[in-house]
Amino acid sequence: MSPSQTPDDGADVSADGTPVVYRLADRCSLDDIEAGEYYHAEVNGVVPYGVFVDLTETVSGLVHESNLQGDYAVGDELVVELVEVRDDGDVSFAEAGVDDYDTEHVEAGPDVSVAELDEAVGETIALDGVVVQIKQTGGPTIFHLRDDTGVVPCAAFVEPGVRAYPDVEIDDVVRVIGRVETRDDAIQIEVDDLDRLEDDDAEETRADLDAALDERAEPNEVDPLVEWEAFEKLRPDLRAVAKRLRKAALNGRPIRMRHHADGDGICASVPVQLALERFVEAHHEDPEAPRHLLKRLPSKAPFYEMEDVTRDLNFALENRERHGQRLPLLLMLDNGSTEEDTPAYRNLAHYDVPIVVVDHHHPDPDAVGPLVDEHVNPYLHDEDYRITTGMMCVELARMIDPSLTDDLTHVPAVAGLADRSQADAMADFLDLAAEKGYDQSDLEDVGEALDYATHWLKYNDGRELVDDALNVNCDDRERHEDLVDFLATRAERDVERQLDAAMPHVEHERLDNDAHLYRIDVENYAHRFTYPAPGKTTGAIHDRKVEETGDPVITIGYGPDFSVLRSDGVRLDIPLMVEELTEEIDGGGVSGGGHLVVGSIKFVKGRREDVLDALVEKMADAELDAALSATSTADE
């Protein structure tokens, strides 16, 4: 075509009929060009049979001598028409020979969001986002990129095992150009180019993404399962936790859940785990994200032990080094509120590890408050342990993912019975569970089965077994019922065996306030290293004595350096007693806590008798209250 000719029928023209010549952005690829259209090009090589031209760094081809109208040298510019892109990737052009034209700029691929990637498979796109993880594999470097709608893995390859774009780090704002592909049925972007945005561009993009992320992290508005005025005081705190957890998931921050290994702790952690897994699955294109970002970890002690925090921190630092993950958010459930937790929290304070606590044990807010980012506890709103952690966390899980509601309606009743809550709402929770086919005996068996299973699982979360026992995320009601029957029957058998061995060794005395005091050395007169553990053994003895006497009862189960306390009908304040014993017994090493009428105390072995004698004196001075009853199974 000569310079005076009009463009071919396939070439674009402007509104006045002038030919359009496209100038491609540097990151454009073959997906951005079309046969018959005109493009600005630059000569990068001259050969006897024509010239090679570049449209971009990655789009090049040959103008054969038969399609050239002039002589050109390297660096010369000309307008070319795309003739063909062959199956082998070779590109051929012809000189367009147009003098009068309009230039239009072409950006590399359409701007899309992570949520729109399903509709762009096979296309080259542009995506702005924040890097939340960088993982070096034996092949490509995988950058996990989040925008305001989700997180997607982006694979950039230089050569096997070599870090691509080494100047890009976690939290950088970047623009990725790449082709959307599927790998193992999951979306992934094959990176053509990845640029770190700077200065105003980065600040503006980050601000937009963060504002949208903050909005998306807002928890769902859900009606409470039961109307309960006392619980409504906690709802704003739970919403703050739900938002923080959703935001962590959207930011690719791992979440480590530490929970007390008992019935209430299980009823708290399993619903939250399931809700977060579903939320992560909905917003992360990587199908392995729920497994990599969420860990549920039982804790035998009712506080965060140094052994546990050391293990958690080491695991987190290894994951940061090996897998390019952020440091995690620590979620403490059914523990974490007491002064005993603070040494572990102070250990985490050296690192970027946010701490969130949802608990119903009597708190030490002055000690814990400065070390945690969120703290939900009924005592902070003049309520008490009768609002169990499981009850709170079912509502928390529903705020994260309300679609779970039908699966969770029986769980608050299990939590309440497992911790023997006398809350006003227990009747309503039992009615709700009855609609799902559970009577109170069934629910008590579920709680017993959970206690039994977690005892033998030790530090293992026992995911599938626990889910089936609780009937959450379980697709077989018959299997659930058979499993609970088996575990609860075994638990009852083992408790009876323990009581047969221990009851003859229980010592009794009548205190000055007329309460019964029962004491037993569970170290020497109960089976060790089996079910039930000392705390639950003490609780079983206590229940037997309450049933036998019908009077106010206190039970102490003790070992060389610990004691477990239970009370019915006596107005104790165990956290206050621990505080006083710590001051009064020099060198006693006293620590501990729990609820007002159920708890545990530690001390040094050599001062055991001093601690126990002083403890009994305080119990003898306590007021009797026939309406006050123990509300919890043992904290081990």
For residue range 453-481, what is the model confidence (pLDDT) as tens digits? 999 998 899 999 999 999 999 889 999 99
Q: Is the pLDDT of residue 627 over 90?
A: no
User: How far apart are the two ends of the chain, measured CA to CA in Å?
Assistant: 89
Say how many C-beta atoms besides its own lie within 10 A of residue 249's C-beta.
27
Q: What is the pLDDT at residue 49? A: 94
340, burial (CB in 10 Å: exposed 0-12, middle 13-18, buried 19+): buried
Q: What is the mean pLDDT of residues 381-402?
A: 96
Domains 232-486 and 506-624 share a fold: no
Q: Over 194-209, what HEC string results? A: EEECCHHHHHHHHHHH
CATH tag for 506-624 (out of 3.30.465.10, 2.40.30.10, 3.40.50.300, 3.10.310.40): 3.10.310.40
Quote the tokens at residue 100.
């009068």
Q: How far from chain centre, in Å, is Cα 59? A: 43
Q: What is the mean pLDDT of residues 584-613?
A: 90
Domain topology for 232-486: inorganic pyrophosphatase (n-terminal core) (3.90.1640)
Tokens 């019964």 correspond to 516
Which one, of 524, 490, 492, lies nearest residue 507 by Cα? Answer: 524
How far apart CA 225 and CA 399 sit, in angstroms, is 12
Q: What is the pLDDT at residue 7? A: 44
CB of 539 closer than 8 Å to CB of 522: no
Q: What is the pLDDT at residue 626? A: 54
How far apart CA 134 and CA 138 sit, in angstroms, is 13
CB of 588 closer than 8 Å to CB of 582: yes
Say how many C-beta atoms besides its own lie within 10 A of residue 566's C-beta.
32
Confidence of residue 10 (pLDDT cuts 50, 70, 90): low
CB of 468 closer than 8 Å to CB of 483: yes
Q: What is the pLDDT at residue 628? A: 43
Tell me the per-residue pLDDT of 161-204, one tens digit each, with 9 for 90 and over: 999 999 999 999 999 989 999 988 899 999 988 999 999 889 99
Which one, of 427, 408, 338, 411, lies nearest residue 375 by Cα? Answer: 338
Q: Mean pLDDT score of the chain, rounded to an integer?
A: 92
Report the share of the chain in percent with pLDDT over 90. Answer: 80
Dihedral through CA 604, CA 609, CA 614, CA 617, nearest 10?
A: 150
Question: In one letter, which amino acid is 450?
Answer: L
Q: What would the CATH number be for the domain defined by 20-106? A: 2.40.50.140
Q: What is the mean pLDDT of residues 87-112?
A: 86
Q: What is the mean pLDDT of residues 300-308?
A: 89
Report the share of the chain in percent with pLDDT over 70. Answer: 96
Tell me the per-residue pLDDT of 485-506, one tens digit each, with 9 for 90 and over: 999 999 999 999 999 999 999 9
Q: What is the mean pLDDT of residues 207-235?
A: 95
How far apart CA 163 and CA 194 sit, in angstroms, is 13
549, burial (CB in 10 Å: exposed 0-12, middle 13-18, buried 19+): middle
Say how many C-beta atoms besides its own lie within 10 A of residue 71's C-beta.
8
How far apart CA 204 and CA 209 sit, in angstroms, is 9
3 state SS of 28: coil
For the entire predicted model, the pTM comes to 0.83
CA distances from 418 to 20, 352, 574 (A): 75, 35, 20
Q: What is the pLDDT at residue 596? A: 73
Please state at what angle helix 463-470 crosses helix 440-457, rounded to 10 degrees. Answer: 170
How far apart CA 412 and CA 452 sit, in angstroms, is 19
Which one, of 473, 474, 420, 476, lies nearest residue 443 by Cα? Answer: 420
How far apart CA 307 and CA 327 sit, in angstroms, is 18
Domain topology for 114-216: OB fold (Dihydrolipoamide Acetyltransferase, E2P) (2.40.50)
Q: What is the mean pLDDT of residues 366-372?
A: 95
Q: What is the mean pLDDT of residues 203-227?
A: 94
3 state SS of 553: strand
Taking the domains of the chain in order of start, what are their residue ranges? 20-106, 114-216, 232-486, 506-624
How far apart CA 345 and CA 339 sit, in angstroms, is 10
Q: What is the pLDDT at residue 32? A: 81
